[in-house]
Amino acid sequence: MDEAAQSGRRGRASVRAARIQDVAKLAEVSTATVSRALATPERVSAEARARVMEAIAKTGYVPNPAARTLRSQKTYMVLVVLPDLANTFFSKILRGIEETLFEAGYGMIIGDLDGSPEKEAHFAAYTAAGRVDGAILLHGHLFGQSRGGEGAPDRIGIPLVALCEAIPGADIPQIEIDNRAAASRMTRHLASLGHRSIAYVSGPAGNILELERFLGYRDGLEAAGLSFDPALVIPGDYTIESGVAAGQNLVARASRPTAVFCTSDEMAIGLMRTLFSAGLKVPDDISVAGFDDIEFAAVAEPALTTIHQPRRELGQAAATALVALLQGRPTPKRIRLDTELVIRDSVAALCPMS
Amino acid sequence: MDEAAQSGRRGRASVRAARIQDVAKLAEVSTATVSRALATPERVSAEARARVMEAIAKTGYVPNPAARTLRSQKTYMVLVVLPDLANTFFSKILRGIEETLFEAGYGMIIGDLDGSPEKEAHFAAYTAAGRVDGAILLHGHLFGQSRGGEGAPDRIGIPLVALCEAIPGADIPQIEIDNRAAASRMTRHLASLGHRSIAYVSGPAGNILELERFLGYRDGLEAAGLSFDPALVIPGDYTIESGVAAGQNLVARASRPTAVFCTSDEMAIGLMRTLFSAGLKVPDDISVAGFDDIEFAAVAEPALTTIHQPRRELGQAAATALVALLQGRPTPKRIRLDTELVIRDSVAALCPMS
């Protein structure tokens, strides 16, 4: 029961007073290096710093916190704020961010807003308290601002980078795709296969991605010589559930569009499920297109035609920009990565006989 | 361009010196309450504390960090460590944790290990540095230990709770399902439908969930009077990709099992994709069962028969246990939540003629 004794009682591990010498010995460095790693970490190699930090964790050494705080506020940790972690779209983005940060000697922690402003206050306070060195924002606004950009942003004294959801007017590096061009391209693709009645399942109202993709849908219709019909716009919020609901909306209609452009893959997968349950076939009866190219898109039945976002590269680009800021180097203000139209099995040419 | 000026240059928001009076005014409390919220937060209501923290973020007020650190080490933040964030299994677990923590006045941040021990060191150091008040571990071992429990755990001086992946021998609250009983139940369900040749797609070697589910598979075979055939065990690691590979393994066989029990839904979805591509029908040619009941299970085509895990409740139970520890209250050491067999369309009775 040595192990249980060591891990302590009631989940609280027991702490004996470890000394700086214990840390130095375990990390195979001098005590001076341990002090430097805590006080002026930029003067120690990333490799030695990692060994010291690991030895600190192993020994349970607690440096004099007041002394340490006065000397250095560096945490070597970056906060990534997501609008909704449940969307699988984010997993590869996070991987791209994490691997780039890790290489530069930083860890990543994730905060999930799940749409709730009170939760944002929690992360804003944590950030303002200096518990991270920088933050990457994927939720489309600065701390303290509304989605529409109203209100003065919180004065957070650390570097920030915006990713995916652009923040109009914010003077920070912003990394994104061209959502408008991508949505236009998908709409033109559907039109090029003979579809004249193309429905659009939207993202959440007021969301910048939704705004851009909707403009792209209209661009695409116009380029194909099709007129815009508001009755073909079905509200969604990027979730599977809203795709299921959009499918019910379609099934209930007397006259149905021949193609549906869902602005997320999750919605497309939920929508197809509802169509199948109603006895409709994809793509024979109705073509369905997605957006994002999440892992499930390729293995859906039928496999989903969609817009591929370079998710890992988006994450890497955001982390690269943030690391540059953290190290005092210049970085471009706006980076746009390319998307691809991925043609699979869920979209077919409209047969003139049907 | 007022907004751009406020948000600062090169992503670094400008910080003017805000005073404690600014914070008090915005939070509509006295300056004494602001001081107390920082120095002895347990003496201030959660509601007032939240308002003060939000006002601190809004004004950019920086309390004397040394003074604050000396007086209180509370961060009101909890770290959740995941083995692999890309698995959609975790999204609802995180929601359950987050909502329970939030109610108790704590925020949640997430660390993703992605299978890499070096990343664990980062989180262990961050935790040891007192940047969170407690941690929930979903990766099956204590900081500093191997998966098998070898090595002395790091002496982390904060409350810990284990969730989903039990940590044998660790004297901390552990919340889980009965993986062995659930796997046995699914195996017996398949056998009850006439299947005599039931393949098993495993989780990662050495993983405690895999260990338990494999024992359950063997229990189920035995209960049904079927003998165990090692040739029917196909290696996997819970990911879609490993399900695709397991499907290729099956397709290549001269004689195929009539049912496949995949120990994660992601593997089942990937495996079905490969079977479809090879011209096989589910469940007509082969029955496929999953484990977890992620969101995609219900909308897969065909909808997946699986084991439902009460993910939100698991998260809530773990957070409730941690909050009890943080507040010095007792909490049970072991909590097991019930699972359910969910029967959908991917499993069929074996037709004696086929």
From the list A53, A157, A325, which residue is nearest B10 (CB)? A325
Q: Higher pLDDT residue, B80 or A55? A: B80
What proportion of chain A, given as a percentage, has pLDDT over 90? 61
Residues B153, A7 contacting (CB under 8 angstroms): yes
Are the beta carbons of A12 and B244 separated by less than 8 Å? Answer: no
From the list B131, B157, B161, which residue is nearest A15 (CB)? B157
Are the beta carbons of A173 and B56 separated by less than 8 Å? Answer: no
Are the beta carbons of B60 and A157 separated by less than 8 Å? Answer: yes
Beta bridge partners of A335: A175
Alpha carbon of B14: minimum distance to chain A alpha carbons (Å): 6
Average pLDDT over residues A226-254: 97
Backbone angles phi, psi at B12, to 5 degrees: -105, 110
Are the beta carbons of A110 and B110 separated by less than 8 Å? Answer: yes
The per-residue pLDDT for A165 is 93
Chain B interface mutation, best of A106, A282, A296, highest count of B Cβ atoms under 10 Å? A296
Contact list, B108 vs chain A (CB under 8 Å): 111-112
The per-residue pLDDT for A346 is 98
Q: Cβ-count burial of A42 within 10 angstroms (0-12 exposed, 13-18 middle, 19+ buried)?
A: exposed
Q: What does the alpha-carbon distance between residue B27 and residue B23 come to, in Å, rounded to a whole number?
A: 6
User: What's the Cα-to-Cα distance from B342 to each of A110, B189, B293, B308, rounded to whole Å?
Assistant: 32, 11, 8, 6
Closest Cα in chain B to A52: B125
Are the beta carbons of A149 and B269 separated by less than 8 Å? Answer: no
Peptide bond into B204 cis (omega under 30): no
Chain B interface mutation, best of A1, A3, A138, A264, highest count of B Cβ atoms under 10 Å? A3
Are the beta carbons of B69 and A73 separated by less than 8 Å? Answer: no
> Domains of chain B by range and CATH?
3-71 (1.10.260.40), 75-176+311-337 (3.40.50.2300), 179-310 (3.40.50.2300)
pTM, entire model = 0.79
CB pairs under 8 A between A and B: 300
The per-residue pLDDT for A274 is 97
Are the beta carbons of B94 and A88 separated by less than 8 Å? Answer: no
Are the beta carbons of A111 and B111 separated by less than 8 Å? Answer: no
Instruction: Identify the residue whose tokens are 């859906």.
Output: A300
- What is the full per-residue pLDDT of chain B (354 aa) written as tens digits? 333 333 333 333 334 467 788 888 988 898 888 877 776 666 777 778 778 877 876 776 766 544 444 335 678 889 999 998 888 899 999 999 999 998 888 889 999 988 665 678 778 878 877 789 999 999 998 887 776 667 777 767 789 999 999 998 899 999 999 999 999 999 999 999 999 999 999 999 989 999 999 999 999 999 999 999 999 999 999 999 999 999 999 999 999 999 999 999 999 999 999 999 999 999 999 999 999 999 999 999 999 999 999 999 999 999 999 999 999 999 999 999 999 999 999 999 997 654
From the list B94, B160, B303, which residue is nearest A11 (CB)? B160
Alpha carbon of B222: minimum distance to chain A alpha carbons (Å): 34
Q: Are strands B306-308 and B340-342 parallel, antiparallel or unpaired?
A: antiparallel
Cβ atoms within 10 Å, residue A263 = 29
Alpha carbon of A339: minimum distance to chain B alpha carbons (Å): 21
Are the beta carbons of B299 and A124 separated by less than 8 Å? Answer: no
pLDDT exceeds cutoff 60 at A6? no
Are the beta carbons of A299 and B240 separated by less than 8 Å? Answer: yes
Alpha carbon of B223: minimum distance to chain A alpha carbons (Å): 34
User: What's the Cα-to-Cα distance from B223 to each of B188, B201, B339, B350, rounded to whole Å?
Assistant: 7, 20, 19, 19
pLDDT exceeds cutoff 70 at A40? no
User: For the CA atoms of B269, B274, B278, B281, what is the dihedral angle to 10 degrees?
Assistant: -10
Phi-psi region of A274 (alpha: psi -120 to 50; beta: other; left: phi over 0): alpha
Q: Higher pLDDT residue, A162 or A68? A: A162
pLDDT exceeds cutoff 60 at A66? no
- Please tell me whether the interface predicted TM-score (ipTM) of this complex is above 0.90: no
Are the beta carbons of A13 and B153 separated by less than 8 Å? Answer: yes
Average pLDDT over residues A291-320: 97
From the list A11, A86, A152, which residue is nearest B325 (CB)? A11
pLDDT exceeds cutoff 50 at A8? no
Backbone angles phi, psi at A60, to 5 degrees: 75, 15
Are the beta carbons of B11 and A172 separated by less than 8 Å? Answer: yes
